[in-house]
Every structure is written in C-alpha cells, then in structure tokens.
Amino acid sequence: MCCVMSGKLGMVMGIAAGVAVLGGAMMGMQDGNKKPQTPTTAKPSPEPVKPVTATPIQPPKDSKPTTAPAQPADAAEAEMMKKWMEYMTPGNEHKAMEYYVGEWVGDMKMWQVPDQPPQEEKTTSKFELIMDGRYLIGEHSGQFMGMPFQGRSTQGYSNLTKQIQHTWIDNFGTGIWITSGKSDGKVCTLTGKMDDPMSGKQVDTREVMTILDANTYRLEMFGPSPIDGKEFKNMEITYRRTGGTKPAPAAAPGGTKNIDTTK
C-alpha cells in the first residue's frame, strides 16, 4: 500500500517537474521572439537663430540725387497764400464798377433784321456791388414784344485772366449767356456765344458798353443776321441815371488805368 502510494506520488511530482520545465521553455521562446528595444536618448535643443543684419546699399560715389530737396512746408504754404491773396484782392478794375451802382432808365431799340425800323421800349436797371466790391449785380425789367421782361446780370473782373467776365439770364430763355473781354477805360467790349432757338444752335455775339458822360452810357448788342448770317446791331439801349447824379470814374470797368471814383 505504501509502495503504491509512493509510486503515485513520484509520478505526480515528475509530471509537475516536466510541466514546469516545459513552461519555462515556452516563456523563453516568447521572450526570444520580441524585438529588442533601442534605448532612447534626449535630443539636444536647437541653438538660437542669430538675427541677420542687412547692410545698407550705398549709392555710387559719382551719383547725383534724382529729385530736388523738398521745399519747406511753411515756405510753400506762404507762397500759396500770397498767390491766393493776389487773386482775391479787388483792384482798380473792380473799383471802376462803382460807376454803374444805382438806378437807371433806358431807351431801348431792337432790330429783328437789318435795315428795318426798330421796335422801341423802355427798360429800367438797378446795379449794386456785392462781396466787398468784387462783383456787380444788375436787376433789369421792362417790356419785350408786349410781354413783361426780367433779366439779371453778373459782372466781375478776374485777376487771373485779366478780363471782365459777364453773365446774363432772363425769363425769355433757359440758358446762361456768358461773355468776356476788356475795357480801355471808356469802352468795354465783350464777346461770347448765345443760345439761338431760331437756328437751334449757339451763335456768336458781341456787346459794347460806352460811357458817354458821368450819368449816361450806351449798350449795343450785335449778332448774326437771320438773312445772311453776317453780324449786325440788333439792340441799342441808352441809359440815364435816375435819383441824382454821380461823377464819372477815370476809367470804365476792366480798364488798366488807375481809377479813383472819389474825384
């Protein structure tokens, strides 16, 4: 009985020992199949990047500046202000416009065609200076072809162009008549273009203002004849001052002479 038990115990122990050996071998094979791990090493930190300094490009020794040095701002502004003051300051030519200030009555003659008796009407005008004597404004009224007539004129003298500039509007049209010209002190001649509804286009015009004495001046207007297109006088107005008299200036508007209206 004891031997049998001893034999069985030996077999069990032998089997256990074999199982242990086999298990160790299997574990060894598994460890052998694993890839060996490479040891990791810390990477060195990158060195700081040094800033790149650009070398300024030097111009050739014999080169010259392509532009002139800028003018100081204060000097340029002073020159601009000087020119503008010269342009805006009224002069003798503006002083001459004082001759027309006041109220006038006019005897008007109008010709439709040359060599025909004129149509005669009465007209009134009133002039005043505005903007410290820079411009002469005129209000005009009367009768024209049996209908009430109203007109407005603006006259000035440009210190830039050295010319008289004149505009006219009235209730017998929708356009603005613009003329310009010069004066020799007594006679002022202005030219320009006017809308002509009869021909359907603009036509050349000319007007002449002549100072006859201290309180009388004449206005003449010229335009193309409806017959042959040649220039002819189509209107003449002789104006006389009303409401008192006024001494005539030494020169008319736009004149180049020295003018003193106080004499």
Count Cα atoms within 13 angstroms, Cβ side, for 61.
0
Residue 190 near residue 166 (C-beta atoms within 8 A): yes
DSSP result, 97-111: GGGG-EEEEEEEEE-
Report the alpha-carbon distance of residue 96 to residue 250 in Å, rounded. Answer: 8
Confidence at residue 19, expressed as pLDDT on a 0 to 100 scale: 39
What is the pLDDT at residue 48?
Answer: 56
Query: Which 8-state DSSP code applies to residue 249?
Result: P
* Domain annotation for the chain: domains and CATH numbers: 92-242 (2.40.128.20)
- pLDDT tens over the chain, length 263 residues: 433 333 433 443 443 444 343 344 344 444 444 444 544 555 555 555 555 555 555 655 655 555 655 556 789 999 999 999 999 999 999 999 999 999 999 999 999 999 899 999 999 999 999 999 999 999 999 988 889 999 999 999 999 999 999 999 999 999 999 999 999 989 999 999 999 998 899 999 999 999 999 999 999 999 999 999 999 999 999 999 997 656 555 444 444 333 333 33
Write down the pTM of the prediction.
Answer: 0.66
The values of phi and psi at residue 113, to 5°, are -140, 160
Counting Cβ atoms within 10 Å, is residue 104 exposed (0-12), middle (13-18) or buried (19+)? buried
